[in-house]
């Protein structure tokens, strides 16, 4: 997979750019006037209370929602209305919830992530199988390969879908609560592998409610409140920003373990 991983963006040009981005659903403004940049190598945690527009923002960046104003560019082009097939080679998106119809096996579900790379009848070739199995190994779901997807636990299903997103070999990762329903050990390994992708040149935006994971693994945090970006920057600073405290209605305490490792908890 590393070979397919091209460096995205340069030090000057950000991989993802938002300028005054606004989104309305059924004429109700969900996010309004967001300005932000994410560069190659960045792992951005998007935090905010329920209904603050985190998922909507991610869907807009994935090109799944039209903008009501402003613009968004992913690797130099507007994602909404772009050809999905070529977009899928650059950008993968893990939805917050997925309900799968039909009893596909885990391996089949992961291989669906190779759609944009395949031609013709789309029988998985050795490259597809290798990519799928590497993604499954990294998400620790190889042992589930022959199981039916609809019979997995919630956390297992999440990890399988993450493997599907990873085997797309995209350089922009948009992950909506990738660690929700995942046990603490697996949640950390998920964050580690996303971080590793970023260190190899990818850019990741992930929505999370876990402020401790955000502090430990993210390079940046964007905090949303009522559809507006109220704070952005280095994780420890943003988590303790008064605007974030106001948004959550509760302060986030950032401290240090005896080992020197920083941690964050809602105070």
Partner 1 sequence: MSGFVSSATPTRLTAQRLATVLGSATLLLALLAVLAPLLGVTADAHGRHLSLLSTAAFDPSSTENAILWVRIPRVLACLLVGAALGASGAGLQAILRNPLAEPFTLGISSGSALAAVIAIRIGVETWLGAAGVGFAALLGAGATLLVVWRLARTEQRLPAATLVLAGVTVSMFCSAASVLIQYTSDFSEVSRMLRWMMGGLESMRLSTVGWAAAPIVVGIATLIAFTRELNALAAGEEAAASVGVAVARTQSVVFIVASLLVGVSIAVAGPIGFVGLIVPHAIRGTVGPDHRLLVPASALGGAALLLICDSLARMVAAPAQLPAGAVTAVLGGPFFIFILVGHKWRANLWGRS
Chosen residue from 99, 185, 249, 259 binding partner 1 by CB under 8 A: 99
Query: Whose structure tokens read 């909507």?
Result: 56
Q: At closest approach, how far in Å is the CB of 251 from partner 1?
A: 35
Q: Which is nearer to partner 1, 2 or 99 (CB)?
A: 99
User: What's the first-to-final CA gap in the chain, in angstroms?
Assistant: 41
Q: Which is nearer to partner 1, 2 or 146 (CB)?
A: 146
Chosen residue from 24, 104, 188, 236 binding partner 1 by CB under 8 A: 104
Chosen residue from 37, 140, 150, 241 binding partner 1 by CB under 8 A: 150
Position 204 contacts partner 1 (CB under 8 A): no
Chosen residue from 56, 164, 179, 197 binding partner 1 by CB under 8 A: 164
Beta pairing class for 91-94 and 28-38: unpaired
Q: At closest approach, how far in Å is the CB of 124 from partner 1?
A: 6
Position 109 contacts partner 1 (CB under 8 A): yes
Q: Which residues bind partner 1 (CB under 8 A)?
A: 59, 62-64, 83-89, 91-93, 95, 98-105, 107-109, 111-113, 115-116, 118, 121-124, 146-151, 164-165, 168
């Amino acid at each position: 997979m590393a070979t397919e991983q091209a460096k995205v963006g340069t030090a000057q040009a950000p991989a993802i750019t938002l300028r005054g981005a606004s989104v309305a659903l059924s004429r109700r403004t969900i996010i309004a006037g967001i300005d932000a940049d994410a560069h190659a190598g960045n792992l951005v945690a998007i935090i905010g209370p329920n209904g603050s527009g985190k998922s909507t923002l991610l869907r807009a960046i994935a090109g799944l929602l039209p903008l009501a104003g402003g613009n968004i560019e992913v690797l130099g082009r507007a994602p909404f209305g772009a050809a999905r097939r070529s977009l899928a080679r650059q950008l993968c998106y893990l939805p917050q919830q997925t309900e799968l119809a039909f009893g596909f096996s885990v391996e089949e579900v992961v291989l669906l992530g190779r759609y944009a790379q395949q031609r013709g009848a789309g029988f998985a070739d050795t490259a597809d199988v290798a990519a799928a199995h590497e993604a499954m190994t990294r998400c620790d779901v190889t042992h589930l390969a022959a199981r039916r997807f609809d019979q997995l636990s919630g956390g297992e299903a999440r990890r399988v879908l993450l493997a599907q997103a990873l085997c797309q070999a995209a350089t922009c990762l948009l992950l909506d609560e990738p660690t929700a329903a995942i046990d603490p050990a697996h949640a950390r390994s998920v964050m580690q592998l996303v971080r590793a992708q970023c260190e190899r040149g990818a850019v990741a935006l992930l929505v999370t409610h876990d402020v401790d994971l955000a502090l430990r693994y993210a390079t940046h945090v964007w905090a949303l409140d009522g559809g507006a970006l109220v704070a952005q920057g280095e994780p420890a600073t943003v988590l303790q920003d008064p605007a974030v405290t106001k948004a959550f209605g509760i302060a986030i305490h950032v401290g240090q373990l005896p080992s020197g490792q920083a941690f964050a908890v809602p105070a």
